[in-house]
Amino acid sequence: MRIGILGSGLMGGKLGTLFAKAGHEVVFSYARSRSKLEALAREAGPRARAGTPREAVQDADALLFSVHWNRVDDVLRQAGDLSRKVVVTCSLPMDDDDTSLIVGHTASGAEVLARKAAGARVVSAFGTVPSEVLTSVFEAREGEARPSLVYCGDDDDAKDVAAQLIRDVGFDPVDAGPLQVARYLEPFTLLIAKLAYEGHDGPTLAYRFEHFEQRA
Amino acid sequence: MRIGILGSGLMGGKLGTLFAKAGHEVVFSYARSRSKLEALAREAGPRARAGTPREAVQDADALLFSVHWNRVDDVLRQAGDLSRKVVVTCSLPMDDDDTSLIVGHTASGAEVLARKAAGARVVSAFGTVPSEVLTSVFEAREGEARPSLVYCGDDDDAKDVAAQLIRDVGFDPVDAGPLQVARYLEPFTLLIAKLAYEGHDGPTLAYRFEHFEQRA
C-alpha cells in the first residue's frame, strides 16, 4: 500500500518507519521542518520519502492521522480533499497542555475528525500504545505472542486496511466496533499513558486481551 | 479480612463468593430479596452470610461497592457511616438504560462516590473485567500467568487492601494512580464490555499489560 503520514512526530515518525520496513510506500509530511521529514525518510529506507500533506494524500491507500489536536484544522487545510480516503487516526483530542481530553463520552476526537474531514473513512487506531513500544513489538513479532491493538470505525473496508497495518507492525488487531467506541478508546489511551509514563516499569508497555475458558 | 458486599448482583455475588473461597469472611447485602442473599451465602460456604447493608459495614475491613448507579444513594443511606472504611468500588455511573456513562472525564463515578461517602477511603477496582471471567481466572490461577486488573485510589493503605483482594481472586493488581484516574478506568470498562458482549469470542475476557524490552 501507499501510506501518507499526516503528522510526523513521535507516533507518525515511528509508525511510518515501520510501515516502510513492512513493505509499504510511505510519504512523511507535517513535521517541524522539512529537514526532519527528510531525515525520517532517509532512516526509513528506499520506500519512504518526504512530502507536503497534499503529496502525502495523493494516491494514498491509507493516511495515518497523527498530529497534535491543536493542529487538526491546519493539517486538514493543507491536506486538501479527503473524500473516500481511509484515515487511520491516533490523534487524541487533548488540550494544549496535554493534560486532559477536550472531547469525550458524548463525542470523541475520532468522530469530530470524521465530521471535519467530510467523506473520509476514519478508523481510530494506534493511539492505545506508547510510541516507545512500537519498535520492540515490531522486532519481537517472530514467534512471540502478539500484543493486542484495538481499533474502531464505521467503514468495513477502511477497517480492513487499518487491521492490516496493525498486523504489519506486529500487533493483533482487535475490532472494537463503530467509530463511536472511540469515546472509550481515547480515555483508555490516557489510562495506558498513566501506566506507561507514571508507572514503575517504563513506557515500553502494551496490552493483550485474553479469553479464559469458563470451567465452573 | 472481613468483607462487606454492598450490592450482591452479578459482580458482587461472584466476587463475594470468591473472597469467601479465598479465606475471607463475607457478608452479602443488598440484593432483590433476602432469599437471594441467603442462597449466595449458602453457596459461598461457611465463611459467608447474608445481612443488611449496615451489618455488612459493621466491623468490615473492606467493603465491595457493587450496586447499579441508580442505587447509590439508597445503599449509602442503608449502610450508615462509612468514615475511614476501605470502599472498593466497581460501580459504574451508567444511566438507567445502561447505555452511557453519566459522569465523565472531568469527574468519575468513583470520585462522586468518594464525595457522597464522605470520609470513606474509596478505591476503584474490579469494574474492568466482565463478571463472567472471574471464576475462570480464580480457578486457573495455579501456575498460569495472571491477567492484570487496574485499580486506583487516593489512600495507600486502602489501595493495599484492594491489591490484596485482587490477588486473592487470581489477578495481578496494577496501580494506575490516584482516584481521579477512574475517569479513564471507567470508559476502559465500557471498551471491555464492548469486546466482551459484542465481540466474537464471548464474555470470558480479561487483559494483561506487558512490557516489551526496547531492542532498537
DSSP A48: E
Q: Which chain A residue has the Cα nearest residue B202?
A: A211
pLDDT value at residue A18: 84
Residue of B nearest to A135 (CA): B216
Task: Write out the three cell numbers for B208.
Answer: 494483561
Shortest alpha-carbon distance between residue A192 and chain B (Å):
9
Average the pLDDT over A55-61 and give the result: 93
CB distance B135–A190 less than 8 Å? no
CB contact under 8 A, B135 and A214: yes
Q: Domains of chain A: which residue ranges?
A: 2-198
Phi, psi at residue A88, to the nearest 5°? -100, 115
What per-residue confidence (pLDDT) applies to A117?
79
Count A/B contacts: CB-CB distance under 8 Å.
Answer: 140
A133 neighbourhood in chain B, CB within 8 Å: 212
Q: Which residues contact A165 (CB under 8 A, 6 or more apart)?
A: A1, A3, A19, A62, A64, A88, A125
Residues of A in contact with B186 (CB under 8 A): 187
A chain contacts of residue B140, beta-carbon cutoff 8 Å: 212, 215
What phi and psi values does residue B52 have, to the nearest 5 degrees? Answer: -85, 165
> CA of B92, closest CA in chain A: separation in Å?
13
Q: Flag the least confident range among A16-30, A46-60, A174-188, B132-146.
A: B132-146
CATH 3.40.640.10 assigned to domain A2-198? The reply is: no
Does the pLDDT of residue A43 top 60, yes or no?
yes
Residue of A100, A124, A212 best to disrupt the B interface, most CBs of B under 10 A: A212
Check B191 against A139: CB less than 8 A apart.
Answer: no
DSSP structure class, residue A101: B
Contact, B27 vs B50, CB < 8 A?
yes
Helix (H, G, I), strand (E, B) or coil at A209: strand
pLDDT higher than 80, residue A91: no
Distance (Å, rounded) from C-alpha A37 to C-alpha A55?
A: 13
**Do B212 and A204 count as a contact with CB atoms less than 8 A apart?**
yes
pLDDT of res. B141? 62
Q: Can you spell out the DSSP letters for B26-89?
A: EEEE-SS-HHHHHHHHHHH-TTEEE--HHHHHTT-SEEEE---GGGHHHHHHHH---TT-EEEE
Supply the pLDDT for residue A215. 54
Q: CB distance B204–A213 less than 8 Å? A: yes
Per-residue pLDDT tens digits of chain B, which is 216 residues long:
899 999 999 889 988 998 898 889 999 999 999 999 999 999 999 999 999 999 999 999 888 988 888 898 899 899 998 888 888 887 777 778 876 677 667 788 888 888 887 788 888 888 788 888 888 888 876 777 889 999 999 989 888 988 988 888 888 999 999 989 988 888 898 899 889 988 877 888 999 998 887 554
Of B135, B207, B210, the CB nearest to A216: B135
Q: Name the maximum alpha-carbon separation found in chain B.
A: 61
CA closest to B140 among chain A residues: A212
Interface mutation target, options A211, A213, A215, chain B, most CBs of B under 10 Å: A211
pLDDT of res. B216: 45
Per-residue pLDDT tens over the stretch A147-200: 999 999 998 988 898 898 888 888 899 999 998 998 888 889 889 988 998 887
8 Å CB contact of A135 and B215:
yes
pTM, full prediction: 0.80
Predicted local distance difference test score (pLDDT) of residue B91: 76
DSSP secondary structure letter of residue A46: T
